Amino acid sequence: MLARAVDGIPDGDSGLRAEVGRLPLHRLPRRRGGGAGQPQREAPDSLLPRADRAAQRRSLPARAVVDGEIIVRVGDRLGFDALQQRIHPAESRINRLAADTPAEMVAFDVLAVADANLMDEPFRHRRALLETMAAAFEAPVHLAPSTLDRELAQRWYERFEGAGLDGLIAKPRDGVYLPNKRSQFKVKHTRTVDVAVAGYRMHVDGNGVGSLVVGTARRRRRAASLRGGGQLHRPAAPRAPR
């Protein structure tokens, strides 16, 4: 499921439930009897070492599909860059990174248990079942915090800015699970800054800008210079010829 941007935090009586947003890789761990988890393509099994994957499977019922996200903690922050470094063909590198910065999973939805497909069930039912299942969770699996309290959601929004989190996700309590549909809402942290645009790349479909290369101005010894600020968005097309 995807989310579309909105400006405000939902009220508790608006039919929405708020969760902390993250910048992770998604994972759909499935357990069929003693079988291994089968992730989505964005999050290969190598992101979690074997011992952690075994603990993940022990946390789930014998036959279940749980939707969640892989995270890595770096100090008191979530390190998305540290997580991306694990997407690498060399197993030795992945094992070293896994030992230095262990990955964890945050579960936020349950899609199936045994022969029951729960995707057409309202989110409030799926969340209640997930909370019951979470009593058996053990590291590296955690239950995603969720609330109907707007004031608490506001505190989360303010407290966790700059900690590697990505605002709030608001989910309709009566909503069914809709893959690849923007049926949720995201309240993102935003800041305004003046930058100089040094270049751009077109979107992969040829319509509009896919990414920008920007810099911020600063004064040094009466001379203005540009400090590279990187790309505002991940490149959506191959590097253009110089």
Residues 95 and 158 reside in one and the same domain = yes
- Residue 51 amino acid letter: A
Output the pTM of the full model: 0.70
Residues 143 and 219 reside in one and the same domain = no
Number of domains in the chain: 2
Residues 38 and 79 reside in one and the same domain = yes
Q: Is residue 238 part of a domain?
A: no
Compute the distance between CA of residue 179 and CA of residue 167 in angstroms, rounded to an integer: 21
80 three-class SS: helix
Compute the residue count for the chain: 242
Tokens of 48: 């979690």
Q: Is residue 242 part of a domain?
A: no
Residues 70 and 156 reside in one and the same domain = yes
**What are the tens digits of pLDDT across the range 211-222?**
888 888 776 544
Q: Name the more confident of 119 and 140.
A: 119
Residues 60 and 139 reside in one and the same domain = yes
Q: Is residue 163 part of a domain?
A: yes
pLDDT at position 236, please?
Answer: 40
Domain of residue 10, residue span? 2-187
6 three-class SS: coil
**What are the tens digits of pLDDT across the range 131-160?**
999 998 988 889 999 999 989 998 998 888
**What are the tens digits of pLDDT across the range 55-73?**
677 778 788 999 988 888 8
Tokens 């009566």, residue located: 174
Residues 104 and 154 reside in one and the same domain = yes
Residues 179 and 210 reside in one and the same domain = no
CATH number at residue 6: 3.30.470.30
- Of 169, 187, 205, the one marking the end of a domain is 187
Residues 102 and 148 reside in one and the same domain = yes
Q: Is residue 241 part of a domain?
A: no
pLDDT at position 222, please?
Answer: 45
Residues 216 and 109 reside in one and the same domain = no
Residues 162 and 224 reside in one and the same domain = no
Residues 136 and 202 reside in one and the same domain = no
84-111 per-residue burial string, b: 16 or more CB within 10 A, e: under 16: eebeeeeeeebeebbeeeebbbbbbbbb
Residues 47 and 89 reside in one and the same domain = yes
Spatial neighbors of 205 by CB under 8 A, at least 6 apart, are none
Q: Is residue 239 part of a domain?
A: no
